[in-house]
Structure 1
Amino acid sequence: MIGRKAGFTSDFKYSPAMVSAGFIWTEDKLRTYLKATSEVVLGNKMRFWGMGSDKQIDDILAYLRTFNP
């Protein structure tokens, strides 16, 4: 996921807001998104209220790093 274009995979139907977001997922962008999605992608249809725990976000980012080439 890190390094991918937001809203762009062939096997998922993203909201128009996510498709037109126009950015690449970085760790900083993901951290902000996981804290408060609406601050990153306005109009996104995905219901996620965010995470308050920096430890949880660190753990998720560490997990996602395992998938990077």
Structure 2
Amino acid sequence: MYEAKNTLPDGRELAFGLYRKREFLNNDSREYDLLGEYANMDEVLNSTVIGGRLFKDIIMDDETELLGQD
């Protein structure tokens, strides 16, 4: 799995990352693709790394199913 750095290229502290689950490798291990890294929640919500759409529009869409996972 991707290991995040502590800072973004512009020197700001990394706080959030968006990932896409790639596949199940076995019952306990999964692989993820990093979509983007962000310093604050506003940057996450305004990101367009998923199909060119604002992330805040995706998560508020009635067709979006949100699943929590550790």
Structure number having the greater strand percentage: 2
TM bin (shorter chain): under 0.3
State TM-score, norm by structure 2: 0.27
Q: Which has the larger radius of gyration?
A: 2
More helix by share: 1
